[in-house]
Amino acid sequence: MLAHAHRAPHAALRVSSSTVGTRGRRGGGSPHDTRCSSRQPASIPRQRQRQRPSPYTTPAAAMVVTSAPATATSLPPLRMVALDLDGTLLRPDSTLSERTVRTLQELHSQGTMVCVASGRPAPTVRRFARQLNIGPLPTVCFNGACAMLLNDGGNPAADANEKGAEELGSGRGQDEVWFAQTLDMGVVSAVLAVAAELDLPVQYCLPDKSLTSPVGPNQTALVAFFDNLVGPEGHSVKAPSLAPLPPLAPPPVAAADDTNAAPEWPGPLPPPLKLIVITGSQSRADEVAVHARRTLSSDTCHVIAAEVHVEFLAPNVNKASGLAHVCGALGLSLDEVVAFGDANNDVEMLTACGMSYAMPNGRKAALAAASRKCRFDNSEDGVAVELEALMADGAFGDLGRALPETGPKASVEMPAR
């Protein structure tokens, strides 16, 4: 297959934090100039300045697919594609199209790295990694709270037959965690209090599973609705309680048949990578996010209004910061990355990367942050269309090297599953 036609042997790469910076946006300026913390200081001279316009810095409206390829005097070639999943790469039915898979396999075979940057937990990314079938997959998950190398993307048979995949020697092994950032437990208590006030359930996201403790029929129904959206790999595990601290007073002793009795506190859970308050709709998510920001200051957590939920992460954690850790592990600069996204949680990534595309049906903030807009949405292979045009323009450079087999470990281990 194309995915393996030109793969180089695995070789360890040095971590080079100096390469994780931005050297200007491709495709024109933007009023949004936010960058992740790894940005180069303004006093450092820009390197490899272009002497003439690059054929792939033309604004989207004027882009001509048949323009001349990039030259040595252009901006550095793109070396990585960073892809949001839901609403961007995935079709409305949450599947990958054959054209999308084929395009990404061709890019990979030519030496361009493919990275998933999603709010999803790692377990729900695995099936897409296997379908791409391009080997270890650099991944930003939990909306930037974890950056890792997903190591089981090499054998699609693993979905149907775990034992058979192991016997075939699929190469599936321990994930390589480059970075993980958990929430402060004081913030956890505050978020749980906000959710309880609004009668909304919370999903408590750990590296290997997500816990919920719904109270009453409304919260139970919302959890079931959310589980159905994320798929079987992301289904919540019911827990007696998510509270970091025991209740001030012990719950009253209840009769054996009393199903409404308060659950016994099971003890402290590990700090979560993020918390999700499930709202059931985008409009409600926007309202809850506004309320949460009034209650919780921005220096305690990062609040994101998503499609049917609100996410709470550690301060300054977002897809751009997670992608910066991926680039640091692989010796790349964010200026060598083209990113695709559609939602509020993609804004920082779309702003920070050298080139970025927003989906035409995306949120206003994403469209304002990106340097370009896709001509087609995710129901019409919008990402594949733009990547094919960039390949025709000669925008991508060949890395000539493979992903590392080993690398620096974070304190949080991501289980194989």
How confident is the model at residue 229, as a pLDDT?
84
- Encoded tokens for 223: 């959890």
Which residues does 108 contact at the CB level (< 8 Å), separation at least 6? Answer: 2, 3, 114, 132, 134
Mean pLDDT by 10 residues, the chain (417 residues): 34 32 44 35 30 30 31 67 97 95 96 96 90 94 95 48 33 78 93 96 92 95 91 84 70 51 63 96 95 91 92 95 97 96 96 97 96 97 97 79 45 41
Which residues does 170 contact at the CB level (< 8 Å), separation at least 6? Answer: 152, 154, 155, 157, 158
**Residue 66, phi then psi, degrees to nearest 5:** -90, 15
Helix (H) or strand (E) holding 201: none
pLDDT in tens, 304-324: 998 899 999 999 999 999 999
C-beta of residue 190 within 8 angstroms of C-beta of residue 197:
no
How confident is the model at residue 141, as a pLDDT?
95
pTM of the model: 0.71
How confident is the model at residue 225, as a pLDDT?
94
Give CA–CA dist 63/182, Å, rounded.
42
Give CA–CA dist 188/251, Å, rounded.
21
Give CA–CA dist 203/184, Å, rounded.
16
Which residues does 177 contact at the CB level (< 8 Å), separation at least 6? Answer: 146, 147, 148, 409, 410, 412, 413, 414
Give CA–CA dist 383/208, Å, rounded.
29
Which residues does 347 contact at the CB level (< 8 Å), separation at least 6? Answer: 32, 34, 318, 341, 365, 366, 369
For residue 138, the cross-strand partners are 149
